């Protein structure tokens, strides 16, 4: 029982060591929602978990554009993306922006890992983001800023309710 091909993927599980399995299942960082709106904006499987695990970098975040208006409640309802989709995704995390004014661009920001740590890169979003009190990007101009363990990230305008805490789960 060596390596087997399954759906184009090379399965190496028989040869994986325990430490490799633990590493594959352990996120390197996480985003913790700080507001109810941030939690509700998450895909269902992450909302149940209550945290966004970050397994690899760059980790790209953008607005979920697959929504419909529920006639009864008048609220936006997510049309869940599936992992079986053959189309390559622009983002690793899609958030539903249900506000009257949009805060989240379709390709909003990425969290990247560098030799010195982590950095937020605004992907030329319209509203930018904020790390603690520092504004980054917006007006389609882009920008970047260092990101530390425990920093608060606001996606969109300063008053945006899409707020998360960045938590590093392993040493750099």
Q: 3-state SS of 3-56?
A: CEEECCEEECHHHCCHHHHHHHHCCCEEEEECCHHHHHCCCHHHHHHCCEEECC
pLDDT, residue 86, reads 47
pLDDT, residue 154, reads 97
Residue 15 lies in a domain: no
Residue 80 lies in a domain: no
**Domain carrying residue 156:** 28-64+90-168
Local structure of 109: helix, strand or coil? strand
Residue 11 lies in a domain: no
Residue 74 lies in a domain: no
State the total domains in the chain: 1
pLDDT, residue 166, reads 98
Residue 103 lies in a domain: yes
Q: What is the pLDDT of residues 95-113, one digit of tens each?
A: 888 766 788 998 999 999 9
pLDDT, residue 93, reads 92
Residue 36 lies in a domain: yes
Residue 112 lies in a domain: yes
Residue 118 lies in a domain: yes
pLDDT, residue 11, reads 54
Look up the CATH number of the domain holding residue 95: 2.60.200.20
Measured CA distances, 99 to 22, 30, 32, 162 (Å)? 39, 24, 20, 10
pLDDT, residue 83, reads 46
pLDDT, residue 52, reads 96
Which residues of the chain are modeled with pLDDT < 70?
A: 1-14, 66-68, 75-88, 99-100, 171-172
């Amino acid at each position: 029982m060596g390596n087997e091909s399954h759906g184009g993927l090379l399965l190496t599980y028989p040869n994986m060591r325990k430490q490799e399995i633990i590493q594959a299942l352990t996120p390197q960082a996480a985003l913790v929602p700080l507001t109810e709106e941030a939690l509700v904006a998450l895909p269902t499987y992450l909302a149940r978990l209550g945290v966004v695990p970050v397994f690899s970098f760059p980790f790209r975040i953008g607005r979920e554009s697959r929504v419909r208006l529920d006639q009864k409640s008048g609220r936006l309802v997510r049309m869940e993306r599936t992992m079986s989709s053959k189309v390559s995704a622009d983002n690793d995390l899609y958030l539903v922006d249900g506000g009257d004014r949009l805060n989240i661009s379709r390709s909003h920001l990425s969290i990247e890992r560098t030799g010195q740590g982590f950095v937020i890169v605004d992907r030329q979003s319209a509203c930018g983001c904020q790390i603690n009190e520092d504004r980054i990007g917006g007006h389609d101009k882009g920008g970047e800023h260092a990101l530390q363990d425990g920093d608060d990230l606001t996606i969109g305008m300063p008053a945006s309710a899409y707020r998360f805490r960045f938590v590093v789960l392993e040493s750099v």
